[in-house]
Amino acid sequence: MFTILHLAIIAPFLAAVLVPLLYKFIPRIHTGWFVLIVPIVLFSYFLTYLPDVSGTGSVIKTFEWIPSLGINYVAYVDGLGLLFALLITGIGALVVLYSIYYLNKHKEQLNNFYTYLMLFMGAMLGLTLSDNLIVLYTFWEITSISSFLLISYWYTKEKSRYGALKSLLITFIGGFALLVGFVLIASVTGTYSIRGILDASDQLAASPLFLPAMLLILLGAFTKSAQFPFHIWLPDAMEAPTPVSAYLHSATMVKAGIYLVARLTPLFAVSAYWFWLVTGFGLLTLIWGSLSAIRQTDLKGILAYSTVSQLGMILSMLGAGAAALHYDSVDNNAYTVAVAAAIFHLINHATYKGSLFMMAGIIDHETGTRDIRRLGGLMTLMPISFTIAVIGGFSMAGLPPFNGFLSKEMFFMSMVEITHFSQYGMGSIGLLLPIVAWTASIFTFVYCMILVFRTFTGKLQEEKLPAKPHEAPFGMLLAPLILVALVVVFGFFPNTLVPAIIEPAMASIMPELAQTGSFGVDIYFWHGFSPELFMTIGVVLLGTIIFLVLQKWSSIYAVFPDNRLFNQTYNRFLEGIERTSYTVISWHMTGLVRDYFIYIFSFTVVLLLFSLFGTGAFAIDTANMVPVTPYEAVLSLVLVGSSLILMFTRSRLKAVISLGVLGYTVALFFVLFRAPDLALTQLTIETVSVTLFLLCFYHFPQIFDALKETKFHAANLVISVAVGLTVTLIGLSASGTRLFPAISDYFLENSYKEAGGNNVVNVILVDFRGFDTLLEILVLGIASLGVYSLIKLRLAGGENK
């Protein structure tokens, strides 16, 4: 049944249809105001689901789409799905509000913008609130497409088109891998329903398809969530308008991969590969992103790499959380904290990263540049933006009292705890995990400081700025202010989120554990003198020192392998594919008919000879053969002789005459083999053919001139001899054997009885198999019409003589 929940999910699609109409017919009001209603209503609607999902609860509504294939639009709201739905609609509302002030009503094509944005929102809701893998995949691809459209929103800029294409190619490759992975899973478990698959997880774990399915799905998740080395599309996606960057490329779409990893954790987490891949790539992305962010000079570039880095961090926590599933009870299960931290950081990242992107957009809007080398000293001019940047930046750096501090502490805690884990081959290598995490956090701290202080403190370089800087209008500041307010609120009162959102989401990720009791998550500032605290103090101390002496050591970056390496690999890969296909095509597609004939016949010969001898079909049965008479021997010699002349002659008349001789010899063969009708027809037709050749020759002798220049070609001879030999061999092995008697006795018996004719061949032609004759007449008719029009019709192109 189609319910309100289904309607809510696809409501943005319906809104996308209305947007162009509103844009066209109500041009006086900024279209964004109408659009704003949708996410606000949806956000309020999804808030009403909070009580339903508390604990381990969930809401399932099924709408049959293709029931015969087991593909149904099953809306499934549980803790994890609802968390994402709230993020999507909540941040969506703020982004729409921000975009109303960011995008100019007169200069921009708002209809396109809001249509794409609504398309994206609907797809994202569908992705996170779907229980069916195929439906999930459908929405997954719509997010890729709408992201492509949004990145290339300013399609006249070449960099926008480049970035859009890059993101599309990378996410589509991942999306396709995802589809294959889903199909593999479904082929083992027999269902596309996620709940059904989780119930059959033992079956999948025992299947040989477990590992391929896991790798393919991880490939999909990693490309979407910009994990190393697929992160290269995200910085180029920064060509999109800033509201898009804030929404898609920090808060929602890039978390689709994380959603998928979290959603399928109960399925795959039994495997050590899952733990090592997810945690390993997460940490690698974390440190790579944070190192790369420091070298950026563009505000959005820094934010893009910081997003990459933070996504890696969330993913590594989800991977570490997989360890929790090896314990039967939530009591004394230290690893659940990793999952709690992942979810908490997911929320935190969405809040502060959204606000930071909006801040970067404001700076761009009010000063005309995003280059930190030209910015500085904006603190007094733009005090509100500065406040936003400080709160957002410090939260990202993991400083108290903001929410980033809490999730970072939990991150350290989970990374320290995981070193005590005894399975998955964790030995001394496990010690690397907290060290990498800690190092990456230092660099995270450094780029956060760069972001805040390089932009707002120091000397104002007004001569370098394209516009005179001043504070943004209040409407533009409203959305980031709400987000930083949340940063502070979640920082001081983190436990308000726990029962309503975090624990239900944890229950979705670890359903088996959820049944044994409450997770008892308690987020608090003061842990006592625990390792995490000292790690944070170390981060702040070392980070501050590194930031202060940044000038001195940043030249190290000259030798540090940068992201150009991956971008060049990507570009070379594309160029290589193009060049290779061009080479291959121009190598074998020569445009010469002869070459194509050679391909066709060589392939035919190889295939036929292979199957003839490969299957042992070659055999000569001489039992039923007819003896050779002198007539036939002489005729055969004539046939061979005339064809040899035809083959090598350079005289045009000889060619025509020996063709005639050949035809008449064939007619004589028909006489010898007792086929009077064939002989008659062959004689007549050969005569007419030779006449035609002679006519052609008479009217246009020059066309035959080229015969004189005919050269002998050994390769041609080899291929033609091979074909002739194949025909002979097949003929020999076929003529001796007959699997069943011919049906000709029927024709001989009934020709007179049924059809009243004594000439059996003619009776077959016009009576038993008259349809052949009808169509053969049609062929002759078409040929004669074709000849007539070839000669008579003179359209453009004309004659050269």
Partner 1 sequence: MEIIMSILAGFLFTVGLYLILTKNLIRIIIGSSVLSHGAHLLLLTMAGLKTGAPPLLGLNADTYVDPLPQALILTAIVISFGVTSFILVLGYRTYKVTGAAETDQLRGTDTDE
Name the burial class of residue 619, with classes exposed (0-12), middle (13-18) and buried (19+) by CB atoms within 10 angstroms of its CB.
exposed
Distances (CA, A) of 790 to 697, 786, 794, 797: 18, 6, 8, 13
Name the burial class of residue 173, with classes exposed (0-12), middle (13-18) and buried (19+) by CB atoms within 10 angstroms of its CB.
middle
- Among 370, 539, 384, which Cα is nearest to 448's? 539
φ, ψ (nearest 5 deg) of residue 122 = -60, -45
Angle at the Cα of 665 (from 664 to 666), degrees rounded to 5?
Answer: 90
Does 74 bind partner 1 (CB under 8 A)? Our answer is no
- Among 271, 272, 180, which Cα is nearest to 217's? 180
Nearer to partner 1, 328 or 772 (CB): 772
Quote the least distance from Cβ 726 to partner 1, whole Å. 8
Angle at the Cα of 282 (from 276 to 288), degrees rounded to 5?
Answer: 125
Of 283-291, 314-322, 349-357, 718-726: span binding partner 1 (CB under 8 A): 718-726
CB 513 within 8 A of CB 325: yes
Distances (CA, A) of 687 to 66, 642, 643, 661, 762: 65, 16, 17, 10, 22
* 516/328 Cα distance (integer angstroms): 8
Does 716 bind partner 1 (CB under 8 A)? Our answer is yes
Nearer to partner 1, 560 or 746 (CB): 746
Quote the least distance from Cβ 728 to partner 1, whole Å. 3
Q: Contacting partner 1 (CB under 8 A), which of 557, 560, 597, 603? A: 597
Residue showing tokens 């390792």: 531
Please give the residues from 665 up to 684 whose contact with partner 1 meets the rule CB under 8 A.
Answer: 666, 669-670, 673-678, 681-682
Nearer to partner 1, 536 or 665 (CB): 665
Please give the residues from 416 up to 455 whose contact with partner 1 meets the rule CB under 8 A.
Answer: none
Q: Contacting partner 1 (CB under 8 A), which of 584, 625, 634, 653? A: 625
Quote the least distance from Cβ 700 to partner 1, whole Å. 6
Q: Contacting partner 1 (CB under 8 A), which of 620, 634, 651, 653? A: 620
Which two three-digit tokens encode residue 313?
């961090």
Does 646 bind partner 1 (CB under 8 A)? Our answer is yes
Q: Contacting partner 1 (CB under 8 A), which of 627, 630, 698, 740? A: 627
Of 62-70, 106-114, 192-200, 629-637: span binding partner 1 (CB under 8 A): 629-637
Q: Contacting partner 1 (CB under 8 A), which of 141, 199, 471, 632? A: 632
Q: Contacting partner 1 (CB under 8 A), which of 475, 594, 610, 618? A: 594
Quote the least distance from Cβ 613 to partner 1, whole Å. 16
Quote the least distance from Cβ 581 to partner 1, whole Å. 16
Q: Contacting partner 1 (CB under 8 A), which of 526, 624, 739, 740? A: 624
Please give the residues from 134 up to 193 whose contact with partner 1 meets the rule CB under 8 A.
Answer: none
Quote the least distance from Cβ 606 to partner 1, whole Å. 15
- Among 324, 345, 280, which Cα is nearest to 423's? 324
Please give the residues from 778 up to 797 whose contact with partner 1 meets the rule CB under 8 A.
Answer: 779-780, 782-784, 786-787, 790-791, 797
Quote the least distance from Cβ 792 to partner 1, whole Å. 11
- DSSP state at residue 27: T
Nearer to partner 1, 180 or 766 (CB): 766
CB 126 within 8 A of CB 9: yes
Handedness of CA 406, 409, 415, 419 (dihedral sign): negative
Quote the least distance from Cβ 580 to partner 1, whole Å. 19
Pairing outcome for strands 59-66 and 71-77: antiparallel
Quote the least distance from Cβ 612 to partner 1, whole Å. 13
130: three-class secondary structure by DSSP:
strand
Quote the least distance from Cβ 578 to partner 1, whole Å. 17
Please give the residues from 75 up to 104 whose contact with partner 1 meets the rule CB under 8 A.
Answer: none
Find the helix or strand (DSSP H, E) in which 750 lies: helix 744-755
Q: Give me the half-sphere count of Cα atoms (radius 13 Å) on the Cβ side of residue 230.
A: 25
- Among 543, 537, 548, which Cα is nearest to 400's? 537
Nearer to partner 1, 465 or 662 (CB): 662
Does 662 bind partner 1 (CB under 8 A)? Our answer is yes
Of 49-57, 200-208, 242-250, 773-781: span binding partner 1 (CB under 8 A): 773-781
Q: Contacting partner 1 (CB under 8 A), which of 272, 541, 545, 685? A: 685
CB 59 within 8 A of CB 76: yes
Number of residues that bind partner 1 (CB under 8 A): 104
- Among 219, 324, 232, which Cα is nearest to 278's? 219
CB 434 within 8 A of CB 467: no
Going residue by residue from 719 to 758, which x/- string records binding to partner 1, judged by CB under 8 A? xxx-xxxxxxx-xx-xxx-x---xxx--xx--xx-----x
Nearer to partner 1, 575 or 677 (CB): 677
Nearer to partner 1, 515 or 611 (CB): 611
Residue showing tokens 């926590």: 317
Does 47 bind partner 1 (CB under 8 A)? Our answer is no
* 260/327 Cα distance (integer angstroms): 23
Does 688 bind partner 1 (CB under 8 A)? Our answer is yes
Does 704 bind partner 1 (CB under 8 A)? Our answer is yes
* 269/195 Cα distance (integer angstroms): 16
Does 613 bind partner 1 (CB under 8 A)? Our answer is no
Does 44 bind partner 1 (CB under 8 A)? Our answer is no
